[in-house]
Amino acid sequence: MSGRIPEEKIEAIRRSTDIVDVISDYVQLKKQGRNFFGLCPFHGESTPSFSVAPDKQIYHCFGCGAGGNAFSFLMEIEGYNFVEAVQSLGQKSGIDLPEVQENQSGSAKTNSENDTIYKAHDFLTKLYNHCMVKTPEGEQARAYLNERGFTKEMIEKFQLGFAPDSWDYATSYLEKRNYPLAKVADAGLLAKREFDGKYFDRFRNRIMFPIWDPKGRPVAFGGRIIGDGEPKYLNSPETKLFQKGKFLYGFHLTRSAIRLKDQAILLEGYVDVITAYGNGVQNVVASLGTALTKDQAKLLRRQTESVVICYDSDKAGTNAATRAADELMEAGCYVRIAKMPGGLDPDDYIRTYGAERFEKDVIGAASTVMAFKMEVFRSGKNLSDEGERIRYIEEVLKEISRLPNAVERDHYLRQLAEEFSLSLDALKQQVSQFFKEGKKSKDNAPPKRDNNARKNFYVKKKLLPAFQNAERILLAYMMRDLEVAEKVQEEVGGSFNIDEHSAIAAYLYSFYANGHEADVSQFMEQLTDPNLVKIASELAMMDLNNDVSDKELHDYIRQVLNYPEWIKIEEREKEKKEAEMKQDFVQAAKIAMEILEMKKNLKNSF
């Protein structure tokens, strides 16, 4: 078999798929009127411009122009080809695709390098878990986790495992199953000896924490040493499949809980997440032991607007929390920071006091970022000393000057003025000075280069010419109504003035000629040019009346067909002006009469 998916299967999958459900796995959507809106996953933004239309089963971003149907969304966000996107949605819909499966099983090149590495990670996840749960070698690791309060359910849910103190435990199993050891070593699962070129286990005598991508596929490991030894934690290196600054630990398990609660709790480590999740606090993630990155902040913002940071209360944790807060606020999140009492971390606190108290007394008592920073500035200072007091006030004022919200600035200025019996006007003046200094510094800074910026952003549209608006409206109605498309085909044909509009019209004529009914989502599948998909999705999202009258249709068609004549008139107008400049008034008068005749013909042409 060729592996080609029959058209009727594709159509069945498309009709059984709800695009809102598909996109909700990646973007937090909120209903506004008939459509759903969220932050675009394809470019950075803080104000939602990404729209999903359930009635048309399409999406469109009014910021960057991305658009299409459920298939094209998965192709864009996951890097799938069309067949892979159909397969993915087919699995969700319960529709088997034996055509593709048979082709895959018979193909010698089915498994790409990535597929092999995914499978190697999955195999070792199961192997390490088996070693932990079922073998004598895992007894010490089981005892350690049991002492930390990890239940069997928690161990299974997070697929915790144990890599025994052996140089070839994983290597021998991988070799027996014909995994290419060189590729597996490149993925960071094995290491290679320099003196004889032999491969050996990278992870030894360690509790293994699988790290998953957002789809729930293991792509890396974190290994904690049992007993003495360095380093305490050994992590997989970055690979094609794993860039730690783009993933959040536990995200694939906790994403639905984050959406349900409309809040994410950001923790520091694997153990914190597992303990919280296992005790019922499931809207949690961790940043894989690194400083929170812009990508991780954007990933969280697409799920929820509200984030509570709950890091360790030591100096390192406090500094990391303030940096994470800045990244999250820049991504458009409302951020609060929880303070862990008594030097405990979230894992310790939950095991000691329980999850309910953690949610109420720690997360529930989280302070605003500004209040947290004020407390940090205050710590270690003797505020009865005039010099330290002034230093503290200056630090707080500098931070207040960075707040974007005027009400918040006023709140903290009044709080400062009241606490230290200072003039509110003087404080406002100082904040204004700090703001100007900060702005000047920012203006003089070299521009940041974003190598990951999405190309071809749509520029905010100016007022379009009448003919262009007419073409857009005609195409929008044509996508919704076969009769309108037939009438336009009869009167306009391919005479659209914008090349992209002419191409979309041609696709529409062909689509209807093949017997299809009006269906925007299905029509999108016919478009092979990504630029046409963007334009078509934008046109399909236009807010139009359900029906168009014959008079309106007539007017739009006239605007389209008359435009080339108006161009000719404009050219004759220029020629008339040139004749006048040359003092050739006879020629100018002759051209003027021609222009009048051309305008008269236009008026009478319909």
Instruction: Give the span between the Cα atoms of 86 and 564, in whole angstroms.
Output: 43
Instruction: Give the span between the Cα atoms of 195 and 198, in whole angstroms.
Output: 8
Phi, psi of 148 (to 5 degrees): -85, 5
For residue 187, the 8-state DSSP code is T
**Residue 327: what pLDDT?**
94
**Residue 217: what pLDDT?**
92
**Residue 172: what pLDDT?**
97
Contact 237, 277 (CB under 8 A): no
Instruction: Give the span between the Cα atoms of 504 and 227, in whole angstroms.
Output: 66
Is domain 113-242 annotated with CATH 3.40.190.10? no
Q: What is the mean pLDDT of the chain?
A: 88
Contact 190, 202 (CB under 8 A): yes
Instruction: Give the span between the Cα atoms of 224 and 187, in whole angstroms.
Output: 19
Contact 209, 224 (CB under 8 A): yes
**Residue 417: what pLDDT?**
95
**Strand-strand pairing, 334-337 and 306-309:** parallel
Q: Is the pLDDT of residue 478 over 90?
A: yes
Phi, psi of 59 (to 5 degrees): -130, 160
Question: Could you tell me the pLDDT band of residue 107, with boundaries at 50, 70 and 90?
Answer: very low
Contact 294, 274 (CB under 8 A): no
Instruction: Please give the structure tokens belonging to residue 327.
Output: 């990244």
Question: Could you tell me the pLDDT band of residue 448, with boundaries at 50, 70 and 90?
Answer: very low
CATH number for 246-374 (one of 1.20.140.10, 1.10.630.10, 3.10.580.10, 3.40.1360.10): it is 3.40.1360.10
Nearest to 234 by CA among 289, 181, 182, 194: 289
pLDDT single digits (tens) 200-213: 999 999 999 999 99
**Residue 487: what pLDDT?**
93
Extents of the domains making up the chain:
7-105, 113-242, 246-374, 380-440, 465-606
Is domain 7-105 annotated with CATH 3.40.50.12780? no
As a whole-number percent, the residues of the chain with pLDDT over 70 amount to: 93
Instruction: Give the span between the Cα atoms of 328 and 606, in whole angstroms.
Output: 59
**Residue 446: what pLDDT?**
56
Question: Could you tell me the pLDDT band of residue 444, with boundaries at 50, 70 and 90?
Answer: low
Checking phi first, is residue 360 left (phi over 0); if not, alpha (psi -120 to 50) or beta?
A: alpha
The residue type found at 581 is M
Question: Could you tell me the pLDDT band of residue 45, with boundaries at 50, 70 and 90?
Answer: confident
The residue type found at 165 is D
Instruction: Please give the structure tokens belonging to residue 376.
Output: 């940090």
**Residue 598: what pLDDT?**
78
- For tokens 């506004």, name the residue: 32
Contact 38, 27 (CB under 8 A): yes
pLDDT single digits (tens) 119-130: 999 999 999 999
Where would I find the H helices in 362-447?
A: 369-378, 386-401, 406-420, 424-444
Question: Could you tell me the pLDDT band of residue 404, with boundaries at 50, 70 and 90?
Answer: confident
Instruction: Specify which residues 308 forms β-bridges with.
Output: 265, 336
Where would I find the H helices in 177-210?
A: 181-186
More reliable by pLDDT, 358 or 450 = 358
**Residue 3: what pLDDT?**
56
Question: Could you tell me the pLDDT band of residue 2, with boundaries at 50, 70 and 90?
Answer: very low
Q: Is the pLDDT of residue 457 over 60?
A: no
Is domain 465-606 annotated with CATH 1.10.860.10? yes
As a whole-number percent, the residues of the chain with pLDDT over 90 amount to: 63
The residue type found at 594 is E
Instruction: Give the span between the Cα atoms of 86 and 94, in whole angstroms.
Output: 12
Asked whether the CA dihedral 261, 264, 265, 271 is positive or negative, the reply is: positive
pLDDT single digits (tens) 537-551: 999 999 888 888 989
Contact 297, 266 (CB under 8 A): no
pLDDT single digits (tens) 294-343: 999 988 988 888 999 999 988 889 999 999 999 999 888 999 999 999 88
**Residue 43: what pLDDT?**
82
Q: Do domains 7-105 and 113-242 have the same CATH topology?
A: no
Nearest to 406 by CA among 425, 390, 428, 422: 428
Nearest to 64 by CA among 406, 531, 479, 405: 531
Contact 606, 558 (CB under 8 A): yes
